[in-house]
Amino acid sequence: MHDLTGRADVEELVDAFYRAVWADPLIGPIFTDVAKVDLERHLPVMHDFWETVLFRADRYRRNALQAHWMLHARHPLTGAHFARWLALWSATVDERFAGPVAERAKRQAGRIALSIERRLAGRSGSAFETVRHRDDEEEVHAVH
The CATH T-level fold of domain 7-143 is Globin-like (1.10.490)
The percentage of residues in the chain with a pLDDT greater than 90, rounded to a whole number, is 65
Q: CA–CA separation, 137 vs 129, rounded Å? A: 16
**Quick check: 126 pLDDT over 80?**
no
pTM higher than 0.85, yes or no? no
Where do the domains of the chain lie? 7-143
Task: Determine the pLDDT at residue 125.
Answer: 55
Q: What is the pLDDT of residues 58-79, one digit of tens each?
A: 888 878 878 888 888 888 889 9
